[in-house]
Structure 1
């Protein structure tokens, strides 16, 4: 879990426990490391293997396990995360929390922690409405425990009402808000560093309804912004038009055209590292009419006079002042990607360049996977084909290693 925003997720008993798997997936996509504590009741609904596979970490269950206590004591477990989350939180575990019980690993972790705690209740509507449960919730809130949900709707028991576990994405959003609120200090190897990332395409207008663009989805650039933030960096993302949500914990600036992206990047300097992952249109139409260009029967198509757009990577790489300590470019090529990227790195003056082949059939543009080479002074390092989130994490870790070596 080193270097990432970290939570301990306690999965207690209840049919809603299966939703914890979706919650973990959502958090991991957003660069949050998750370590699970599974209660005896929770293990009746989800398996340790399924939790471990999604978290890529050990699952803790038994307070009396000598192996676990020698490797990761319950005190250490309760304090090595930024936030403790109980989801689902059954009526039983809420009652134990309110009354200070510590009769299993989960409640011991909750009693021993000095970190913020969040609960996502889930139970039958009658149990939720019971005065004892409401009194326990009131007491926990008074002690600073954050509560997300529950939601209203049909339940597995056949009743309808309040008591359903909040949707996993809503819980994930609440967790990220808590992590990024300042209540939890930023940690990780890039804490104290600032980063600028560009993402997506640019749209260069032809007239009010048409534009020049490319097929970039922004998935890789957005993933890089999240990965850098997960390692503790303060990140500014300058995004062209995409269908992606703004990453949590990242300042996002939306632009349309290359000239707007150039200005937003200049305004965001100085930063320690800049990663230019956007696929910026090379040209723009010099003169765009105020009205839609109409097709005339039998007439030739209108001639578009083009001008070259600003070269953002080359401009920032060549700055005499406010140049980032590390400038990383991207080279989206069709064939001979490494050779072309090596030449582009020299031509643009950037420190590193990430080469990827976007030829037809690769599925890179708009897809969820990428196969890249990282090109530096040391040569070209081939990375295996991976998800764009994994590529982003590997790049962010290389950036963190670079700054660690520079500070030695």
Structure 2
């Protein structure tokens, strides 16, 4: 399948291009171009995987999730910026006051003004950070909608995997297609009922699922169904599932981890290296401060206060970077994606060599893996903090 790519005019260089901004969710055939491409390659499978009602429900959760994520993370980042600026201003306060004549009104009121400004920034940062933790309406909206969007994706494939015989019959005999659609529509109505009933409690239940065994959206699917007989129709179905379930996930994670400022791996590396460099500079400035005092430097001189102030500014920068790394979950996200893509590739490699019964089990293993990744993602971000 071919993903819809942006025009060159949409970005200056690849490093500034966010591949996720145009991600088409082509495993769900959300993009019309992907649906047409899949129908050309797999004309008999298109009626099986082309599911408008499922896509509509997915969009109703996915779009609010994307919007709420942006608002939540922007609020958290602003809280960190304000906190870092407060710390930096406090550290530079003595130096800035030393630059003006001590007898003037600026010197008299400057330190008070700077102190009040620094305190105000700190209060704003704390209130924004606490609001993210105590209420976090945007984050809650993001994570709940993200949960349901991913469960809809999982439901789409679980319905096929747990009804292989009915799907193969529908592929083989076009007159049976209506029965398959009737079957999946019944399952879909049950799923939607559960969605409306449990929409606000899902994150708490996810935290309690330490064994990660609530994979199947229909309890009867927990037991593997009998595999249908070998046939060309089944082989074609497996080919379609491999393309949509394995290949799309591998490409998605590859795009997430590729170089560029939007890659969590790239940004985690930048944060770590910058933090290490700044920490080294802080140590050097601290040593310079100690040596200056040892050799009788005037602790009230502007250059001495500047060294002390720079040390404080850099310390504020290191603290801010570490809080941002915690809030954005860059390192944890990178590790989770690397684990996930390695696991998907392993399943795909085994799937290519497996016999019929093992292929069915590997498709079920993929669903377990998808649930595990989703759960760890949601719990990780639920517990993330943007507090200085």
- Which interval holds the TM-score relative to the shorter structure? under 0.3
Higher normalized contact order (CA 8 Å, seq sep 6+, divided by chain length): 2
TM-score under structure 1 normalisation? 0.21
Bigger strand share = 1
Larger helix fraction of residues: 2
Larger-Rg structure: 2
